[in-house]
Every structure is written in structure tokens, then in C-alpha cells.
Amino acid sequence: MTDELRYEKDGPVATLTLNRPDRLNAITGPMLAAFSDALVDAGADPAVRVVVVTGAGKGFCSGLDLKEAASGQGIGGSAGAGAMVQPFDLRTAPPVVLHQLDKPTICALNGAAAGYGMDLALGCDIRIAADTAKLAPAFARRGVLPESGGTWLLPRLVGWAKASEIAFTGRNLSAEECLALGLVNRVVPAELLAKEVRALAEEIAANAPLAVQATKRMMRMGLEESFEANVHHVFLQLLPLFRSKDFQEGVKAFVERRAPKFEGR
């Protein structure tokens, strides 16, 4: 673990905070490794039902630390160039771990998300943006491409034509522009961001966690399979849910006209 990433649990909600506020949370190798590890821990922890991803300070994530790269250090620097072309385990790559996590993820977009930071935000299931936030798809302006899921995610979120315009121009997108494009779910005053995200996380966490996770898993699989195949897989997911204690509790709570108390079993 590293001080560059904070992992905190509060009830059913785990929060991962990128923690280099002096560098607008620019990414480092240790930060990425810690991020993957924290996601794995959250996924394996039955007490965690929702994962929130945010940044410390005024920014969400400024992407690659260009000052380090320019000095020959860090990710993209000449000192680490050899490591960048070596084979690596996709199973532990942060974008893959984030994508495959069955538990719902919410991005609390507290400031600018550039480059990798934008890909990270798009990789979350839900994005709540502060009115001061922005997305900065500056990859082409820096001589690279969206390497951490952006080329897969962006066309699926906004369609091919809009994704092409965003990626090829590299223009910054304000929070309101992101809302209009469907890149964020809602925009809230910056001072209310934490409260809004927490309320949404608790609303999700109050539902049956096995059902929520199965729903996310089937939605993810549905991106790559036929309608018929997805219906078949959904049925296979439904059978164990019918046998779960949470299903029994959900039915009982409905009959008794009360809020259910799910245990994730």
C-alpha cells in the first residue's frame, strides 16, 4: 500500500481516494498498484456493497505526471520506458480490475479528470460531478491514446460520432457539457458533492447486494453477447437468487409493508 491512495470504509461504503493533491493526483506506479489491490479487497469484503472513487484536493486526477515523464522518471519517462513495453498481467491492470468488479462503483468527480483520470472516471458505473469539474481528453495533444479503457468506453457511452469528436479534438468538457452528453449522471454544487454521493451510495447499498452484483454482471456480459445468450445467462443467475435468504427477506418485507434488511446471503 502507499500514502498516494487512501482506502476507507464507512458502513457498506468503501472510498478510494487518489492522494497526491499537490500534483492534482497525477498517477504513479505505486498508486496504480495500490488502486488495483484496494479494488480487489473491496470486491472480496462482504461488508462492502458500494465503492466510491474520488480525488483529494481540488482535482480528481490529472493523468500521467508529465513533469516526472519529462525528467525521465515515472510512467512514460525514459527510466521506465523498458518496463512499459514488457508483458504485464492484464488481470491486475486497474482498468480491468475496475471493469470486472461486480460491486457498484460511483465516481465522485470533484475536479478535473484528464487522460488516465478521465478513463478512470468513465470506468466507474455512475459519475456524479461537482459543478467545477471537467473532463480533459487531452491524449492526442500529448502524443498518446486513451490507453486505460477510454477507446472501449467512450463510444459505448456517447456513440461513435461524438466519441470521435471528443477524442480527436482533445477539447475540455465542462461539467454541464458532460451532463448533456450523458457522460455524468448529474451535476451538483461542489460543496454538496460528498453528501450527494453518500446518499446515492446508501440508497444502492440498502438493496439486496447479491441481486445488485448479479445485475451489474449481466449488464456487463450483455455488452458482448447476443440477446438470447444474455437471457439464458440471466436465468442461470436468477436460480440461486431465488434460493437466497435475501429473496425471502424481500418477499417478506413486501408482504409486511416494511423496509427489507438484506444480509447478502
Q: Is residue 260 part of a domain?
A: no
Mean pLDDT, residues 5-23 taken together: 97
Average pLDDT, the chain: 91
Q: Pick from 183, 205, 227: which residue ends a domain?
A: 205
Q: Is residue 262 part of a domain?
A: no
Q: Tens digit of pLDDT for each residue in 104-126? A: 999 999 999 999 999 999 999 99
At 125 the pLDDT is 98
Whether residues 138 and 120 fall in one domain: yes
Whether residues 64 and 14 fall in one domain: yes
Q: Tens digit of pLDDT for each residue in 152-179? A: 999 999 999 999 999 999 999 999 999 9
Q: Is residue 180 part of a domain?
A: yes
Q: Is residue 261 part of a domain?
A: no
CATH code of the domain covering residue 150 = 3.90.226.10
CA distance 88 to 73: 19
Could you tell me what percent of the chain has a pLDDT over 70?
A: 90
Range of the domain at 229: 209-255
Q: Can you name the residues that pair with 223 across neighbouring β-strands? A: none
Whether residues 106 and 92 fall in one domain: yes
Whether residues 247 and 124 fall in one domain: no
Whether residues 251 and 154 fall in one domain: no
Q: Pick from 165, 188, 205: which residue ends a domain?
A: 205
At 81 the pLDDT is 47
Whether residues 201 and 213 fall in one domain: no
Q: Which pTM does this prediction carry?
A: 0.90
- Is the predicted pLDDT of residue 183 greater than 90, yes or no? yes
- Is the predicted pLDDT of residue 71 greater than 70, yes or no? no
Total number of domains in the chain: 2
Whether residues 39 and 163 fall in one domain: yes
CA distance 150 to 231: 28
Q: Tens digit of pLDDT for each residue in 38-50? A: 999 999 999 999 9
Q: Tens digit of pLDDT for each residue in 142-153? A: 888 888 899 999
Q: Tens digit of pLDDT for each residue in 16-28? A: 999 999 999 999 9
Of 121, 111, 97, give the one whose Cα is nearest residue 42. 97
Q: Is residue 66 part of a domain?
A: yes
Q: Is residue 113 part of a domain?
A: yes
Taking CA atoms, 151 is separated from 57, 94, 166, 231, 260, in Å, by 28, 15, 11, 27, 40
CATH code of the domain covering residue 239 = 1.10.12
